[in-house]
């Protein structure tokens, strides 16, 4: 049997607030008259606006807002991941979350991206491989997975501003 429930989307409170503001602005400007000079451009802009409205509405309808995932070290949406790119030794820290929403200063990778897909479910110390658009394969090791609200850089920034 297939699960037909909509997929839940993890959002920070900040991202949720920004999406709600963008939705309100799109709804507010939906009826504003456009310059009749170019009907094709107006139609394209109207389609883009409608597509973005639907995208935001879907995100908000299925949002899990600010609820940190369990602090179990397993990579999943809502976790700040630190990885090592095994071929170079470089490390990177990023939020595994929704790219369609602004999450502040931290880099965001979608769980549906090649890297996000490879890392979802990983535990610290596990190595995963994923294919890049150019066709090569990269190997990464998960070093740490911390819930967004408990990550030191996020916690320090939130405490300083609020």
Which tens digit of pLDDT belongs to each residue from 64-99?
887 888 889 999 998 999 999 999 999 999 999 887
| pLDDT value of position 40 | 74
Residue 18 corresponds to which tokens in the numbers above?
A: 């920004």
pTM of the model: 0.69
How far, in Å, CA of 162 to CA of 157, rounded?
9
> Mean pLDDT across the chain, nearest whole number?
82
Residue 70 corresponds to which tokens in the numbers above?
A: 């369990």
| pLDDT value of position 10 | 80
Fold of the domain built from segment(s) 79-161: Chitinase A; domain 3 (3.10.50)
Reply yes or no on whether the pLDDT at 38 is more than 70: no
**SS3 letters for the chain?**
CCCCCCCCEEECHHHHHHHHHHHHHHHHHCCCCCCCCCHHHHHHHHHHHHHHHHHHHHHHHCEEECCCCCCCCCCCCCEEEEEEECCCCCEEEEEECCCCCCCCCCCEECCCCHHHHHHCCCCCCCEEEEECCCCCEEEEEEEEEEEHHHCHHHHHHHHHHC
In 3D space, the residue among 114, 108, 123 whose CA is nearest the CA of residue 77 turns out to be 108
How far, in Å, CA of 84 to CA of 141, rounded?
5
């Amino acid at each position: 049997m297939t699960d037909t429930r909509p997929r839940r989307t993890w959002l920070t409170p900040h991202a949720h607030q920004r999406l709600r503001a963008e939705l309100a602005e799109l709804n507010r400007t939906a009826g504003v008259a456009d310059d009749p000079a170019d009907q094709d451009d107006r139609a394209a802009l109207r389609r883009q606006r409608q597509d973005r409205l639907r995208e935001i509405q879907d995100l908000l309808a299925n949002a899990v807002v600010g609820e940190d995932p369990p602090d179990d070290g397993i990579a999943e949406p809502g976790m700040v991941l630190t990885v090592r790119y095994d071929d170079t030794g470089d490390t990177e820290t990023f939020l595994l979350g929704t790219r369609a929403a602004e999450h502040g200063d931290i880099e965001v990778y979608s769980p549906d991206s090649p890297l996000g897909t490879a890392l979802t479910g990983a535990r610290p110390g596990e190595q995963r491989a994923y294919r890049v658009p150019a066709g090569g394969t990269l190997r990464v090791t998960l070093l740490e997975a911390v819930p967004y609200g408990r990550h030191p850089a996020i916690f320090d920034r939130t405490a300083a501003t609020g």
